[in-house]
Structure 1
Amino acid sequence: MSLSSLSAHRLNNTRKAEIDVIFFNRCAKVGSESLLELFNKLEDFNNLNIEREGLRRPTKRQLEPREERELAKTVSGLEDGSVYIEHVNWLDFEDLDMPKPIYINLVRDPVERVISWFYYARGAYKNAIEYKKDPEKPTRSAAWYKKDFNFCVRSGDPECQYVPYTVIDATGNFKRQSLFFCGHSQDCLPFNSPAAIQMAKEHVERDYAVVGSWEDTNITLTVFEKYIPRFFQGVKIVFEMHNEKITNRNKNKRKPKIDEDVKEMIRKNFTHEYDFYYFCKQRLYKQYLAISLKDLNL
């Protein structure tokens, strides 16, 4: 693609939204807690309404058709300037005959995500939340909490074997980053499936205003501000003012160093997940470059 063909207008799906509401169907372990904290700071700054109902909902891998419709109705009924946030897969508002909101999300290196989840699941913060939700839930063994990721992969422990095309996992691990963009179809479930990845790409290209990444913080915040100004005006200033609190939100402080050969072992099973991840990053860079060229009047 030549530089002259880059158009911020064509790359901006915000204009396709039918209601002035953000639908942040946040992926797990991509830094969504940091973006939530940033929204908390922007709430008064930009006169936003952060709808927190979704933050209290239990996470489900997929929704039933009735649940999809109920959620779409909830989002569609929010007032202008609202932000709805939930760990939930992409919804087809058009198919549900509901007005389309402004879709946003974040992505992260697929292998770093699953490593982060492995230790987050064993952290005090998450388990305190789980206990509060269900005090009667059986506690796991001390050995499970002390499990080492390097050993887990090398030993063939089912928890750390990311087998392509599997649908049922030995334990919940959020390894399918693309699932949050693919949706609730059964075709989205097989892990590292080319078909699921293609569906996810199509939804990003068609619906999402911005899919950012904390790996490229400045680029992401710049694109958010330029492409969705109603919600993100002044976001870089706000971020700089509250940087420490935002970036430390829910930070995993006990994640040890993972051996490179272990990462390489499991990376081979994430080929299509990486394809999706790079697709989203490339799209983000195109959006950034398009506005940079526009600012330079090129």
Structure 2
Amino acid sequence: MELLFFNRVPKVGSQTFMELLRRLAIRNQFETIRLAPADQQMLVSLVAAHTPPASYIKHVCYTNFTRFGYPSPIYVNVVRDPVERVISWYYYVRAPWYYVERKRAFPDLPLPDPSWLKKDFETCVLSGDRECRYIEGETHEGIGDHRRQTLFFCGHEPQCTPFNSVEALQRAKRVVEEQYAVVEELNTFNRINRNAFKPPVSEAVKQIVRANFTREIEFYEFCKQRLHIQLRALRDPALTLPTTTTLRRRRAQRRLGRL
């Protein structure tokens, strides 16, 4: 009996992973918990109050349960190529259904400028538009800030907020190594939440953007490599996993590996 914690990163295919967990919940008779914590203490006590087996799914940074006197859940997550992820977010916030949902939730919210809605990602990058200048050290951008995938693994500390920082990268790597049973990679499973309004972006423009995502890309590649080593270890028990994974997390990996 375990508690599964999926602190889902936005725009990495987490809808697919949520659907997988929903089906597993039916098959294995555990509850999917989707709660919005006000702060870390409330989050930990709220999640810990549920009787395992259960899962918690929410856009939230890594939270250290032991710091508040509770045992750690089984942490899992999904990562995506950082540049593909920001492109996905760029068009997601311009999709018609996004503003329909926003308008329903917030009737007084003004509609965006039509020229902003029509602006494509390539033009945004090549013109040096503020929205598409990914500057190292920045902590926030207008509509959300989905450039920082490491933030979801680094945690809630102030050192985790600057974009593309060395400290956020190293902390995120350490948390993944020590706390996460599995960090899946988007391209290893099918997507169910595609945006038909997202046009193709040239490789040349992607390369321009990648130059500013060096440490975010390093983290993504780190997670991919770790996953591949884990998959090889699952197929060959003689191999050693690259972390000091506990027996509890090994069981979780085997269960996920059979899916």
What's the TM-score bracket when you normalise by the shorter of the two chains?
0.7 to 0.9
Q: Is the 8 A contact 1:27 1:105 kept in 2?
A: yes
**Alignment of 1:93 onto 2:36:** no
Task: Note the C-alpha offset of 1:278.
Answer: 0.7
Identity over aligned residues, as a percent? 43
The runs of 4+ residues in structure 1 deviating greater than 3 Å are: none
**Alignment of 1:138 onto 2:110:** yes
d(CA) in 2 for partners of 1:119 and 1:275? 24
- Number of the residue aligned with 1:277: 220
Q: Which is worse superposed, 112-121 or 126-135?
A: 126-135
- Number of the residue aligned with 2:21: 39
Q: Is the 8 A contact 1:158 1:170 kept in 2?
A: no
| Aligned pairs (5 A) from 1:92-241 | 92-217=64-189
- Number of the residue aligned with 1:27: 9
Task: Note the C-alpha offset of 1:168.
Answer: 3.0
**Alignment of 1:291 onto 2:227:** no
TM-score, normalization: structure 2?
0.88
What SS does the aligned partner of 2:39 have?
helix
- Number of the residue aligned with 1:224: none
Letter paired with 2:27: F
- Number of the residue aligned with 1:228: none
d(CA) in 1 for partners of 2:50 and 2:140? 35
Q: Is the 8 A contact 1:114 1:173 kept in 2?
A: no
d(CA) in 1 for partners of 2:210 and 2:167? 19
d(CA) in 2 for partners of 1:52 and 1:186? 26
Stretches of structure 2 lacking an aligned partner (at least 5 in a row): 240-259
State the Cα deviation string for residues 136-195 of structure 1 (Å, max 9, x = none).
Answer: 111111111111000000001101110111123244240000000011111011100011
Stretches of structure 1 lacking an aligned partner (at least 5 in a row): 1-18, 58-65, 218-242
- Number of the residue aligned with 2:249: none
**Alignment of 1:255 onto 2:237:** no
Q: Which is worse superposed, 264-273 or 208-217?
A: 208-217
> 1:52–1:203: structure 2 CA closer, same or farther, 3 Å change rule?
same
Q: Is the 8 A contact 1:178 1:200 kept in 2?
A: yes
Task: Note the C-alpha offset of 1:253.
Answer: 1.1
Task: Note the C-alpha offset of 1:126.
Answer: 2.3
What SS does the aligned partner of 1:118 have?
helix
